[in-house]
Amino acid sequence: MRLAVSLLVLLAIASVIGTVLNQQQPYEDYVLKFGSFWFAVFRDVGLYNVYRTNWYLAIVGFLVLSTSTCLIRNTPRMLREMREPDLVVGSGYDPRGMVNNTELFSPLTVQSASNMVVAVMRGRGYRPKLHESKDGVVVTARKGRYNRLGYILTHAAIIVFCAAALYNADIPVKLDMLTGAVRPENNFHIPLSEVNKKAWLSDNNPAYRGTVTVPEGQSTQVVYELVGNGYLVQPLPFRIMLKRFHVAYYSTGMPKDFISNIVLYNKEGKVLKEANVRVNHPLTYHGVQVFQASFVDGGSLLKMKRYMFNDPGADAVDEQARVGQSINLSGTSYKLKLKGFSLDNVVPADAIESRPGAAHKHINLGPSFTYIAQSKSASSAEFKTYMQPITRDGQSYFVQGVRTAFGTPYQYLFIPTGPNGSIGLFMKYLSALQKQASVSNGESTKRYILHTFKVVVNKYAPSMTTEAEGLYFQSAISAILQLKAYPVPFVVTLTGFDHRWAAGLEVTKWPATVVIYWGCAVLVLGIFILFYLPQRRMSVALRTLTDGTEVIIGGASSRNPYEFTKEFEGFVTRLKSALQSQDDRKENNDG
């Protein structure tokens, strides 16, 4: 029993970890979250897929065997005791060996005294039974004989839970992986048609849990089960199509609700079922459940302009690509990989404005996109660019974050925008400065910087006020100084987009889940019986003496010993009064 309780506690702790820690995620996410050292420790222990680790399944399997053995061995005896209680007086009914016991003397005969004991027991709700002994009579009684049913039900529920967990763990797949019949694919960038056949699971796999990302207007017939740093492909019995996706936000920018409108088709293209799937409200079809897990960009078409810092006077180059694609930048040695797109970016107002208004605690910075710029020399940097300018202290800025190491914080570049909201004026000023610097003949830097600015503003933004010119000039000089640490010779701005969502779906087939629900009901019933229907035993041994009867009383309870002690004392008091002779009773009444 101690071993079983210890193993159950260990399983409970593991289950808590499996609930709190997101399971079966890419290893890169765990490295980013825990660091390389703890990532390796948790990986070796198996915390990233707790419910399918060998040690977890071994504990579950051992509990099934041990609990089944215990139940098979004890159930027949317990059922027999419930049907025909106390046919034999065993050591468990020796009054001297019970927790509560006392001895009395009665002047009555054994026959009369035993009749009194039976009457008092019945009055207390017990069902007494007389047993002949060598020198007298033993009266036994019991309450809560169905307490043993709680033992049977709780043990049966544990077996049901553990057996269902083993079934849902998809042990056949683990065995196939051990024998080499199934081997995970480690290349996440190849198309589905090129995935090794050994990474494909059977259509008739009894249990699985996989994830897939489906863009709006597209469909899929497979999900992916992450296994370590690879994945397995699980075919589905239907095709999932995402018709529409909708997301709503709180004022803080956190997602409030996201809904996927999903249609299921069979192989012939017939609609099987259509439903809206949201968090904790899955779509269920023939034992397969489709959950809403996350959402990402689904390949939005982005329209951009590229400005070259080493040739700022040249016209901006138009670029266009979808998120997830890569484009080669003409005239440079760089390749641009569009990594992601976000339609809304809500941040605290005090992080942007030096004096935020009390009515606006958060500001939506609008759309942004991230990309990685990589040169042929293999150096790369990641950028996060906001489409809409932000305003600080009366001046609007184009904002772009940059980092040269994945996982480190962004360093932000602020380029002032002109009257038309673009950085075109800044690029004209930068170009004019470069030209002026190349022909300057001893003219002071401060003089030609200011003079060049005046010329550019008069030519390209003559409507700017004196105050606006002052703010813009200070911001432009600050941005130029920032460019010294800028890792690439260009900047890319977002001018338009055709947005498309993609829903992250989790598809599960766990047939044993229904069995677990019934097991839960059985467990609750068994615990209720054990707690609220305790077994209470009474035993009274009566032995003939020369001048009366010796009465030895014992009692025990499976629960609430303090409460039972009070009941036992009341029983002894009532029995002591009943076992007095008629003359003694009359004398006491007269007195």
> Is residue 564 a part of any domain in this protein?
yes
Give residue-wise pLDDT tens across range 125-158: 888 888 887 778 899 888 887 888 888 999 899 8
Residue 109, domain CATH: 3.30.310.80
| pLDDT reading at 40 higher than 80 | yes
Cα–Cα distances in angstroms (integers) from residue 553 to residues 89, 138, 559, 569, 579, in the given order: 14, 10, 19, 11, 13
pLDDT at residue 305 in the model? 93
Contacts of 246 (CB under 8 A, 6+ apart): 258, 259, 261
User: Does one domain contain both 542 and 406?
Assistant: no
User: Does one domain contain both 461 and 482?
Assistant: yes
Give residue-wise pLDDT tens across range 300-343: 999 999 999 988 888 899 999 999 899 999 888 899 999 999 88
3-state DSSP assignment of residue 391: strand
Domain boundaries, position 119 = 88-144+535-588
User: Does one domain contain both 430 and 397?
Assistant: yes
Q: What are 31's two structure tokens?
A: 């490295």
Cα–Cα distances in angstroms (integers) from residue 192 to residues 88, 299, 574, in the given order: 72, 18, 83
Mean per-residue pLDDT over the chain, rounded? 85
Among residues 473, 498, 523, which one ends one of the domains?
498
> Is residue 517 a part of any domain in this protein?
no
> Is residue 191 a part of any domain in this protein?
yes
Residue 525's pLDDT band (boundaries 50, 70, 90)?
A: very high
3-state DSSP assignment of residue 286: coil
pLDDT at residue 582 in the model? 45
DSSP E strands: which ranges in 445-572? 490-498, 501-509, 536-545, 548-557
Residue 293 phi, psi (nearest 5): -110, -40
Among residues 509, 543, 565, which one ends one of the domains?
509
Range 167-188 average pLDDT: 83
User: Does one domain contain both 133 and 162?
Assistant: no
DSSP designation for 252: T
Among 250-264, 287-301, 302-316, the least confident range? 250-264
User: Does one domain contain both 159 and 273?
Assistant: no
pLDDT at residue 45 in the model? 85
> Is residue 360 a part of any domain in this protein?
yes
CB 572 within 8 A of CB 552: no
User: Does one domain contain both 54 and 157?
Assistant: yes
User: Does one domain contain both 332 and 375?
Assistant: yes
User: Does one domain contain both 157 and 191?
Assistant: no
581-585, Cβ contacts within 8 angstroms, sequence gap of 24 or more:
581/106, 581/107, 581/108, 584/107
> Is residue 83 a part of any domain in this protein?
no
pLDDT at residue 328 in the model? 92
> Is residue 250 a part of any domain in this protein?
yes
> Is residue 529 a part of any domain in this protein?
no
User: Does one domain contain both 343 and 366?
Assistant: yes
Q: How many domains does the chain have?
A: 4
pLDDT at residue 421 in the model? 86
User: Does one domain contain both 447 and 307?
Assistant: yes
Which of 60, 62, 76, 71 minimizes the C-alpha distance to 156?
71
Give residue-wise pLDDT tens across range 363-401: 778 899 999 999 887 678 999 999 999 888 888 999 999
Sign of CA dihedral 143, 148, 151, 153: negative
Beta-bridge mates of residue 139: 130, 540
User: Does one domain contain both 329 and 444?
Assistant: yes
Range 557-566 average pLDDT: 88
Range 445-450 average pLDDT: 77
> Is residue 530 a part of any domain in this protein?
no
User: Does one domain contain both 160 and 187?
Assistant: no
